Structure 1
Amino acid sequence: MRGVITRVAAIRSSEAALLRATQLIEKGREKEALPLLARAAQKGVAEAEFRLGRVYLEGKIVPQSKQEALRWLECAAKQNHTEAQAMLAAMFVHGLSFAPQSGTTLFAAAATGGPVTRPDFERAAHWARLAAESGSPEGQAILGFLLTSGPEEMRDVDAGTEWYRRAAEAGSPQGSLGYAMAITRSNPDDAGHQLAMSHLRRAAEAGIPTAFFLLAVMSENGVGTERDLAAAAQYYREAAERGNSNGQARWGLALLEGRGVDKNPSEGESWLRRAALAGDSEAAALVGDLYARGGDLPPNYAEAAIWFTRAAELGHKGAARALGLLYLTGAGVGRDPEEAARWFRVSAEAGDRQAQADLANMLLRGAITNTEDFVRTRQWFEEAAIGGDLVAAFNYGVCLAEGVGIEQDEKQAAHWLKVAAQGVVNAQYWYGRMLMQGRGVAQDLTEGRAWITRAARAGMLDAQVALAEMLVNGRGGARDHTAAFELFSQAAAKGHVGAMFALGAMLGGGHDIPTDRTQAERWFRQAAERGHPQAQMMLGRYLARGLAGSVDRVEARLLFEKALAQGVDEVRADLAALDSSSDESAPPTQKAVNH
């Protein structure tokens, strides 16, 4: 009997200690409350265990200790304390990084780049289910999250949605947010979208950043409400100011573009930077674009490279390609083809078609020689081509024609180039060339010229030059030197060196246009200065022989030597002729020296 009385007294004493501790906490005297709280917890009072766990988790009046918090919360949870069970579930979802005062939400991992430590979804589900079944709205919301967004093997979307609904109806802001997200994922009708909006508003009233962001997205796109850019901008601002990195990025973009708010590029860039530093890859890529474009100031490629690197390392495939282009051209960074190829590879592996083409072009030029790149590039193009991608079909055709990552197969190359030619200008040019040369198909000059004509009319420079050559020599159709001259002129104006040489050749005589050797020499010079070996030879001849009036044998010799260095062997005769003319024009004493 005495033992029972003792135990009852102990329980009453512990409960009294808890009551007194609670009163002190309400008065802001937490430090005085702590010994009383600890005494009650040590006696097994569940509410005291729960409160002591929170004290250790919050770290306000004692050094924060998540392990101590976990120990005391588990003690309370095992006594069916539903708040402790829900809090434990939240801790395990967030990898023990959850702290009640920090504003952490179920959706923080998605918004901030992930929890501090590894989540334990099994233990989270155990405690969440116990709390949910005991009627805890927080536990119901967490269970809804786990069943809709947890590991694949744990998911039961219908059950999760129902738990979210119950949590929302019980007044849980997290439940309202989760229920709204579940509704929008189920392809709802207008009424469903409106229901989602109403629950997002409830969550936003509780200050949840993700709710503001989603309200902004729906307002911007007119989903579940009238399209309202001004309202969307303000929701983005609310999300941004509450630390949501996606909201910071979109608010920054709104300020940058003046979408729903007065344009303010400086403040917009500042918000984009904040989002980028918080781990938003799209924001980092946008900042990189700002520096690369320049705007009112010259482009700052070095700064752009820093932000593109940050975005690429966060998985942004467009930024990875942009970084590759900077390394390829040496803009803002040291020119480094291997580093360019590395970033093209990263972007290409993520599915960026342009990066795949960039990598293929480097392989075709011999800028990189990695065998694996050849094979992987061909595989990308083959898979996409079979799936109906015409650009990929063109690139796959080029791989087959040139033997990139696969044994050369001109017949298959012609097939895929013809497929791609239905919608890709470059493919029309390539397929036309295949027909002209009889590569992989029976030679058909007329059909080949027709395809090249299509590409030329679409504005492709190489096709315009190729068509002009056909108009000169009559391959595949009629000659028309006037039309050829016009096409060469258009291409030369756009910097095509071969067209510059062709203009010089046509103006030099022998064609159905007026001869003008002064202009011919001018075009040969423009092409020669850009490294065209045949133009160097022709300009040398003009200067050596005075074909346009002026003679300059010294420059002629330099031009012949440049052409010879590029493999034009016929200039040997021109050099010999220069030597001979030099001997004949030298004074008698100089001739003796020469011989």
Structure 2
Amino acid sequence: MYKLLSRWREGFSAQGRLQRAMGWLEHEGRAPQGFALLGRLAQEGMVAAQYQVARAYLEGWGAPRSPAEGVRWMHRAATANHAEACFAMALMLLVDPPDGKGADGLLPASLPAGIELWPDPVAATGWAQRAASLGLPDAQALYGYLLACGPDSVRDPEAARQWCARAAQAGCPQGDLGLAVAHLAAEVPGTDPDAVAALNRAAQGGLPTAQYMLGLLHERGWGTARDTGQAALWYGRAAEQGVRPAQARYGALLLHDRADGPRNLLMAETWLRRAALGGDREAAALLGDLHARGEAAIPADHEAVAWYRMAAGHGHALACRMLAVLYQQGRGVAADPDLARAWLERAAELGDVTAMSDLAATLLAGRAEQAATPPARVDFEPAAQAGDPVAMFNLAVSLHEGVGRPVDRVAAAMWMERAARAGVVNAAYWHGRMLLEGDGVATDSAQARQWLEQAATLGLPEACLAAAQLRLEGQGGPRDHAGALALYHKAAAAGRAEAMFSLGALYGGGHDIPPDRAQALRWFLQAAEAGHALAQMMAGRYLARGLAGRVDVSQARHWLEHALAQGLEAARADYAQLAGG
């Protein structure tokens, strides 16, 4: 009888009515009744009911979904210091309002007092602080995270560590994750063992973000031995839980052999596809590579085009350049030089150095050749005026060559210098050559040498050749044959036959380096194989006269004949002497 009376009394208490309303809300047939009872309790001032009404409106439980009403009731409960409501306000203010319509998606009358911006990370931090102070571990973790990585006006690294530690001590995996993030935000990744340990705990606790971050540490060897097997393990766990970057990294790792197993192209393609369809541009570009190289499960050029286009749409420079190649070659699409050119321009705008070189070459070719379909004219000036270094370079080339606008060498020199100073490698080379030749600017061999050597340092073969010649001749600075030798070696490694010939000449003697005839013959032969006429003559001469220690009349005749076939009359005397002998 006592228990019966207790249950009867509880049914009329506020808490009992709340429990009954929540019970009805969970049953589809009685959900409207449950919501109606919640509404009466909320109107009477019951804070817990206000929170539940907010949730019901936001989720559409027992009533039509209404984000505006949900926000209004959540704000009311949070203002009354309901911990979960404060936490919910913090989470909501970190992202777009419900329905993703931005602040304009809510009626102005629906925005509670004090909410003027949305999203508003500063206001979110304030609500997270209230919820954290009320003892909610998840809110303590969020507050610590915002103190570590939020807007500058709220950052407090020491307080961030303290709040995340409190959440972690309460058994909240998000606290360990926040603690790791707080450490990593202030340190070189992986250098703090406490951060790595916290990340391990969060990952073991099942948090996918922590699993992804732990995979990253293992892949890159931050704070732990580099271990692609462990990286793949953690990436895989995070990928299974839908973390898009983890899906992309997992797929990329599966493309290569690892300590824990061989490459798995089929599985790699599966995960890369998931990540790409979720908007990951690197995954889309890798899928394009798989199809373009014929390594996909069912390779197809049209698939390569589709994936590259997806990555290009997200600003992936290399994907843009690969699209240009496919349109140029007519692979997977009809050949279209104009579209090839357009994608090449886009790649160059995004900073692809190879595309910059290719685009400059097409600008020159477009001027020198009369194509059936003229290349599209692109006005680079607006982007150049806005400060885009690649556009500055392309505008300079256009002005220099008269492509799409009248020739103006002075303006070309001005824009070329700007592009060079902004770090465009090709522009540094062009600027150096223009200074050397007085092309649109006063001749200055010292400055020219400086710019050409800068471009050479960055690996441009043409710049290596030009800078080596200046060192060889002592133009714009002191003679430096050893330095020239090093630059010629760099250009030769890039396959430049002129550099190979110059190495042969330098090693042949008469310069400020010890002669080495065997090395000279080796380089002459390499340049001869590459079709360099003078090198063919010198290779023939060396082999005919035994200048490097060995005589080979047959090979000498072979190379001299090749030199003559290219019109090099200087080889005729050597050939005649060989024939007469």
**TM-score normalised by structure 2 residue count:** 0.68
Going from structure 1 to structure 2, the CA distance change for 1:322 and 1:398 (only over 3 Å counts) comes to farther
**Residue matched to 2:446:** 411
CA distance in 2, matches of 1:140, 1:449: 63
Indicate conservation of the 8 Å contact 1:221/1:227, yes or no. yes
Q: Is the Cα–Cα contact under 8 Å of residues 190 and 217 in structure 2 kept in the other structure? A: no
Q: Give 3-state SS (helix, strand or coil) of 1:185's partner.
A: helix
**What number of residue pairs does the alignment pair up?**
492
Q: Map 1:29-108; keep pairs closer than 5 Å.
A: 31=31, 32-97=33-98
Find the counterpart in structure 2 of residue 566 from structure 1. none
Equivalent AA in structure 2 for residue 490 of structure 1: Q
Q: Which residue of 2 aligns with 1:313?
A: 313
Which amino acid is the alignment partner of residue 242 of structure 1? Answer: Q
Secondary structure at the residue paired with 1:257?
coil
Tell me the CA shift for residue 271 of structure 1. 0.4
Percentage of identical aligned residues? 35
Contact kept, 8 Å, 2:251 with 2:271, in 1: the verdict is yes
SS at match of 1:94: coil
User: Corresponding residue for 2:244?
Assistant: 245
Q: Which residue of 2 aligns with 1:213?
A: 212
Question: Residue 493 of structure 1 aligns to which amino acid in structure 2?
Answer: E
Tell me the alpha carbon deviations over residues 324-347 of structure 1, each in whole angstroms, 9 at most, x when there is no partner.
555677765633464244223333
One-letter code of the match for 2:245? N
Shift of 1:251: 1.6
8 A Cα contact 2:317 2:348, kept in partner: no
Offset at 1:299? Answer: 7.8
Deviation, structure 1 residue 86: 0.7
SS for the counterpart of 2:74 is helix
- Contact map agreement 2:318 2:347 (CA 8 A) in 1: no
Give how far 1:177 is off.
1.3
Q: Distance in 2 between matches of 1:246 and 1:345?
A: 26
Q: Which residue does the alignment assign to 2:195?
A: 196
Q: Which residue of 2 aligns with 1:140?
A: 140
Give the superposed CA RMSD. 4.9
Judged with a 3 Å threshold, the aligned counterparts in structure 2 of structure 1 residues 213 and 435 are, in CA distance, closer, same or farther, namely closer
Aligned to 2:336: 334
Distance 1:197 1:487 in 2: 53
Q: Distance in 1 between matches of 2:317 and 2:553?
A: 54
Q: Which amino acid aligns with 2:49?
A: A
Alpha-carbon distance in 2 for matches of 1:191, 1:433 = 47
| Distance in 1 (alpha carbons) for counterparts of 2:310 and 2:496 | 36
C-alpha distance 521-191 of structure 1, shift in aligned 2 (>3 A): closer
Instruction: Tell me which residue corresponds to 2:466.
Output: 430
Counterpart CA distance in 1 for 2:266 and 2:298 is 16
- Aligned-pair CA distance for 1:47: 0.9
Distance 1:167 1:359, change over 3 A: farther
CA apart distance, 1:412: 0.8
Tell me the residue number matched to 1:530: none
Between 1:325-334 and 1:425-434, the stretch displaced more is 325-334
* TM-superposed deviation, 1:76: 1.3
1:419-439 Cα shifts (integer Å, max 9, x gaps): 666785654421233356776
Rounded Cα–Cα distance in structure 1 between residues aligned with 2:291 and 2:189: 42
Residue aligning to 1:166: 166
Map of 1:382 onto structure 2: 421
- The answer to whether the 8 A contact 1:179-1:196 is kept is yes
Q: Distance in 1 between matches of 2:96 and 2:68?
A: 12
Contact 1:246–1:280, Cα closer than 8 Å, also in 2: yes
**How far apart are the structure 2 equivalents of 1:479 and 1:200?**
61
Question: Residue 207 of structure 1 aligns to which amino acid in structure 2?
Answer: G
Give me the whole-angstrom Cα distance separating, in 2, the residues matched to 1:438 and 1:366: 36
Q: Distance in 1 between matches of 2:288 and 2:155?
A: 38
Contact 2:25-2:61 at 8 Å conserved across structures: no
Alignment check: 8 A CA contact 1:301 1:331 kept: yes
CA distance in 2, matches of 1:81, 1:462: 78
SS in 1 for 2:279: coil
1:343 aligns with 2:346: yes
Question: Is 231-240 or 420-429 further displaced after alignment?
Answer: 420-429
- 8 Å contact from structure 1 (residues 255, 261) kept in 2: no
Write the deviation string for residues 522-581 of structure 1: whole angstroms up to 9, x where unpaired: 747986xxxxxx58x99xxxxxxxxx9xxxxxxxxxxxxxxxxxxxxxxxxxxxxxxxxx
Offset of 1:50 from its aligned partner?
0.7
Q: Distance in 2 between matches of 1:256 and 1:33?
A: 54
Letter in 2 for 1:41: A
Q: Distance in 1 between matches of 2:520 and 2:39?
A: 96
Aligned ranges 1:362-377 → 2 under 5 Å: 370=380, 372=384, 373-374=392-393
Quick one: distance in 2 between partners of 1:218 and 1:477? 49
Secondary structure at the counterpart of residue 463 of structure 1: helix
- Does the 8 Å contact 2:464/2:491 carry over to 1? no
The whole-number CA distance in structure 2 between the counterparts of 1:323 and 1:408 is 40
Who is 1:461 aligned against? 497
| Aligned counterparts of 1:198 and 1:455: Cα–Cα separation in 2 | 46
- Residue 84 of structure 1 deviates from its aligned partner by 0.7
- Checking the alignment, whether the CA contact within 8 Å between 1:449 and 1:476 is kept in structure 2 is no
Matched residue of 1:218: which SS? helix
Conservation of the 8 A alpha-carbon contact between 1:417 and 1:427: yes
Where in structure 2 are the equivalents of 1:169-568 lying within 5 Å?
A: 169-187=169-187, 192-193=192-193, 195-221=194-220, 223=222, 228-259=227-258, 260-295=260-295, 302-323=302-323, 334-336=336-338, 338-348=341-351, 354=354, 370=380, 372=384, 373-374=392-393, 378-379=417-418, 381-384=420-423, 397-398=432-433, 400-401=435-436, 409-418=444-453, 426-434=462-470, 440=476, 454=489, 458=493, 460-466=496-502, 487=523, 489-494=525-530, 496=531, 499=532, 503=536, 523=562
Change (3 A) 1:315 1:422: closer
Amino acid at match of 2:346: W
Is residue 359–residue 377 contact of structure 1 (8 Å, CA) maintained in 2? Answer: no
Post-superposition shift, 1:399? 6.2
CA 1:304–1:462: 2 relative to 1, 3 Å: farther
Per-residue displacement from partner, 1:270-306 (whole Å, max 9, x unpaired)? Answer: 1011112212222222222223333489985554343
In structure 2, the CA distance between the partners of 1:448 and 1:361, relative to structure 1 (3 Å rule), is farther
Distance 1:477 1:402 in 2: 29
Q: Does the residue aligned with 2:209 lie in a helix, a strand or coil? A: helix
Q: Tell me which amino acid in the other structure corresponds to 1:347.
A: L
SS at 2:242's partner residue? Answer: coil
* CA gap 1:399/1:94 in 2 versus in 1, 3 angstroms: farther
The one-letter code matched in structure 2 to 1:177 is L
Report the structure number with the largest CA radius of gyration: 1
Contact 1:24 1:33 survives alignment (8 Å): yes
CA shift in 2, pair 1:345/1:36, >3 Å? same
| Residue segments in structure 2 that go unaligned for 5+ positions in a row | 1-8, 101-116, 368-376, 385-391, 397-414, 546-551, 571-578
Superposition deviation, residue 53 in structure 1: 1.2
Query: Structure 1-normalised TM-score?
Result: 0.66
**Structure 1's 507 and 206: CA in aligned 2 closer, same or farther, altered over 3 A?**
closer
Query: C-alpha distance in 1, partners of 2:266/2:442?
Result: 54
How far is 1:87 from its partner? 0.6
Distance 1:493 1:122, change over 3 A: same
The CA distance in 2 between the partners of 1:429 and 1:220, in whole Å, is 39
CA distance in 2, matches of 1:229, 1:447: 43
Give per-residue Cα distances to partners, 1:363-402, cap 9 Å, x unaligned. Answer: 67777884643266644543559xxxx9996676456447
